[in-house]
Amino acid sequence: MAKGVLCVLSGFSGSGKGTIMKEVVNRYDYALSVSATTRKPREGEQEGVSYFFLTTDEFKSMIAENGFIEWAQYVGNYYGTPRAYVEEKLSAGKDVILEIEPQGAMQVKEQYPDAVLIFVLPPSGEELYRRLTGRGTETEEVIRSRMKRASEEAAYIDQYDYVVINDDLGESVEAVHAIIRSARERRSAHAEATERICSEIKIMVP
């Protein structure tokens, strides 16, 4: 059976990548990878759904065993993508979507050169600011730091295969779905079958 497609979705905070991903998984049959973290669960977060919650020691020994596809430290906590789940799904022919930061995306690309990298952009700088303030839950300082981080993450866009400008949620969802669907038809994905079919034809020609 053909292996599944590994898709990495990144984007600025406020780009809407989380909403796109939820909706893609809702509409289509993709496997969503659950991250591990050492930060404390927040109200309503469920083990194995929101995150796998680990102690720092557990996390570090998983790093030592090469148990993460990618991992990083933010504000004192570790975050990572466990390798076992992803590999199992890909082997079963299932497409997997990872929502991760650009630095993690670079780690994935190195280990899985066939991974498809998508960067989600807001339609404008103005709109990004509006979405970040519109949440109404963040201080002006937090918003500024998100905008700053966005301007830093922009340097990574050149490493992505696709850019989706998230103007309309429905359109963006269809775009992400089409990108993953099309990756299943890359020539390399059908190399074995192509070989077989062409040999069969050659044999039939005298």
The DSSP 8-state label assigned to residue 51 in this structure reads B
Task: Give the tokens for residue 108.
Answer: 């994935």
The yes or no reply on residue 202 touching a second copy (CB under 8 A) is yes
Q: Pick one of 63, 92, 154, 169: the residue that binds a second copy (CB under 8 A).
A: 154
| CB 142, CB 91: distance < 8 Å | no
- The amino acid sitting at 164 is V
Which residues, numbered 3-62, are part of the site for a second copy (CB under 8 A)? 12
Q: How far apart are CA 96 and CA 119, in angstroms?
A: 16
| CB 117, CB 27: distance < 8 Å | no
Specify the residue, 39 or 177, whose C-beta has the smaller distance to a second copy.
Answer: 177
Task: Give the tokens for residue 34.
Answer: 């659950």
The yes or no reply on residue 169 touching a second copy (CB under 8 A) is no
Looking at 38-46, 52-60, 92-100, 149-157, which segment touches a second copy (CB under 8 A)? 149-157
Q: How far is the CB of 203 from a second copy (least distance, A)?
A: 7
Residue appearing with tokens 């301007």: 151
Looking at 18-26, 36-44, 80-88, 140-148, which segment touches a second copy (CB under 8 A)? 140-148
The yes or no reply on residue 147 touching a second copy (CB under 8 A) is yes
Q: How far is the CB of 202 from a second copy (least distance, A)?
A: 5
Q: How far apart are CA 95 and CA 5, in angstroms?
A: 5
Q: How far is the CB of 92 from a second copy (least distance, A)?
A: 19
Q: Which residues contact 77 (CB under 8 A, 6 or more apart)?
A: 37, 38, 39
Which residues, numbered 85-124, are part of the site for a second copy (CB under 8 A)? 118-119, 121-124
Looking at 62-70, 74-82, 98-106, 177-185, which segment touches a second copy (CB under 8 A)? 177-185
Helix (H/G/I), strand (E/B), else coil: 126: helix
Residue appearing with tokens 């937090």: 142
Which residues, numbered 182-201, are part of the site for a second copy (CB under 8 A)? 182-187, 189-190, 193-194, 196-201
| CB 141, CB 31: distance < 8 Å | no
Q: How far apart are CA 129 and CA 120, in angstroms?
A: 15
Which residues of this protein are in contact with a second copy, per CB under 8 A?
12, 118-119, 121-126, 128-129, 144, 147-148, 150-151, 154, 157-158, 160-165, 174-175, 177-179, 181-187, 189-190, 193-194, 196-206
